[in-house]
Structure 1
Amino acid sequence: MEIIEILGYIGALFIGVVLGLIGGGGSILTVPILVYALSLNPIIGTAYSLFVVGITSLVGAIKNMSKGMVDYKTAIIFAIPAFIAVYLTRAFLIPAIPDELFEWSNFTVTKNLAIMLFFAVIMLLASVSMIRNNRKEVDENAQITYNYPLIIVEGLVVGTITGIVGAGGGFLIIPALVLFAKLPMKKAVATSLLIIAIKSLIGFIGDVQNLNIDWLFLLVFSGLSIVGIFIGIWLNNFIDGKKLKKGFGWFVLVMGVYIIYKELTA
């Protein structure tokens, strides 16, 4: 096994640690690790990412459910349009995109290039969200209200984005739950993990019917990420995850810029 592959598996552990420490953001690293460290095709990488993100989020969601932190009504309202969108995206939209999209000044824009550049843009948006981190907290005792049309539209948008890039989209879901469902931040974070788990795993089903899945590799990688979650939760006893979030946001920003540079100069 080459050093870069070993670093890839260490990266799987790191994904879980970040999720356990700051409650989100780690999944944004899954695709770069799978594509660049483990040399997977971007289509395969985004598919595998959906499974890894779904399984690791499910572990966190079950933990939150046992604490009564999940708002099930909001999760259902948001998750139904989200998982429909992510399934349709993976099962039909991604396979329908041609391998070569267009040429511009003797430069061919391929399907893989377009997906990685779009993913890099999502990384940049996620990094800005983590760096700014200026969400207003909702009173824990405030009455929860539902803006159904906006929640459904947001679910469709997030589901489509998740289907394309294979990331959980927590940085989009959490603000939506706070703004449109008026959930307190802690409940929004807990509920988002359940939504991410449902839509990611259902989106992955859309890939199972189109791709040959290396289940052994996928289960090993996911297992390392799950171990990382428990390590991150344990580290929370000694490290303030909120203080790390801004620093991690800068790291994601640099990674996004690196992906754009690497893809355009390859």
Structure 2
Amino acid sequence: MLNLIVAYIPAICIGISLGLIGGGGSILAVPVLVYVMEVPAKSAIAMSLVIVGVVSLIGVIPHWQQGNVNFKTAALFTPTAMLGAYIGARIAALPVITPNIQLVSFAVMMLIAAFLMIRKGTSKTSNEPEMVPELEHHDQYQLLAISAEGLGVGLLTGFVGIGGGFMIIPALVLLGKTPMKEAVGTSLIVIAFKSVAGFLGYVGHVSIDWNLMMSFTVAASLGTILGAYLTNLVDGKQLEKVFGSFVAAVAVFILLQVYIGLA
């Protein structure tokens, strides 16, 4: 019982961070499940995909209400991202892929995400992102590039259980010519659907603690709603800097745990 309470606190914090900074918080779901709840790594990654997917879908709501979701671009990016996530999950479920391989890969992606968060948090540029003119039509090259990017990001999602917003948003802006504000909201749709596809790739191949997964998801979802209401009270850039540093520290902790386990 105490373990559940201890786990729900970071679950709520994960949701709050997602509501406050629009992403990144869900990347902590795997470490909490593995090192707090003692869930096997493969199972934790599979379960985290549901958590990531649900909180991302909830996170879409305020963006949609503000008109900052481009469903057309999401429809272009999502199918290959879902395919990639399913394939990545099936690869990860293979016996040859050990939990340590997944955890090290996950930690590396955490470090990359942390670096981008810290850089964004320390940027002296305006909080308003630069807008990129939207094109009415996508040429063949753009469609292929968007599809390839979606497939690649999806593979990472399925393999290590990350949402990948830090890769999706630049792709939507640069390849999809989507304005930055729309890219953030649109990326959450992509993350939600490809997370579901990745989870389906694990089902039947790893054990799933359904009760823990659903209760953790509910707690994170409540945190997301709370975080959305706190956005006007917290300096988002400063929060990203602090949170990025914390994510980096957790990544180092994971790498140390893997090293100690191998020693």
The answer, yes or no, to whether TM exceeds 0.5 is: yes
Report the Cα offset of residue 5 of structure 1: 4.3
Report the Cα offset of residue 152 of structure 1: 1.3
What CA distance in whole angstroms lies between the structure 1 residues aligned with 2:64 and 2:134? 20
Q: Which runs of 5+ in 2 are unaligned?
A: none
The answer on 1:251 being equivalent to 2:246 is: yes
> Which of residues 95, 98, 102 in structure 1 aligns to 2:96?
98
What CA distance in whole angstroms lies between the structure 1 residues aligned with 2:220 and 2:74? 24
CA contact (8 A) 2:134 2:179 kept: no
> Which of residues 117, 120, 135 in structure 1 aligns to 2:104?
117
Letter in 1 for 2:173: V
Report the Cα offset of residue 212 of structure 1: 4.0
Give the corresponding residue for 1:105. none
CA contact (8 A) 1:21 1:235 kept: yes
Cα deviation 1:50-100 (Å, max 9, x = unaligned): 00000111111233223321111211111111100111222x31222426x
Give the corresponding residue for 1:131. 118
Give runs of ≥4 in structure 1 deviating > 6 Å: none
Letter in 1 for 2:32: I
Cα deviation 1:177-207 (Å, max 9, x = unaligned): 1221222221111000000001001211222
Report the Cα offset of residue 221 of structure 1: 0.6
What CA distance in whole angstroms lies between the structure 1 residues aligned with 2:131 and 2:47? 38
Give the corresponding residue for 2:8. 9
The answer on 1:236 being equivalent to 2:231 is: yes
Q: Which runs of 5+ in 1 are unaligned?
A: 100-110
TM-score of the superposition, structure 2-length normalised? Answer: 0.90
Report the Cα offset of residue 6 of structure 1: 2.8
Report the Cα offset of residue 148 of structure 1: 1.8
Give the corresponding residue for 2:134. 143
Percent identity, aligned pairs only, is 42
Q: How many residues align?
A: 252
CA contact (8 A) 1:138 1:178 kept: no
What CA distance in whole angstroms lies between the structure 1 residues aligned with 2:95 and 2:77? 27
Secondary structure at the aligned position of 1:57 is classed as helix
CA contact (8 A) 2:92 2:102 kept: no
TM-score of the superposition, structure 1-length normalised? Answer: 0.89
Report the Cα offset of residue 7 of structure 1: 2.2
CA contact (8 A) 1:5 1:37 kept: no
What CA distance in whole angstroms lies between the structure 1 residues aligned with 2:243 and 2:6? 18
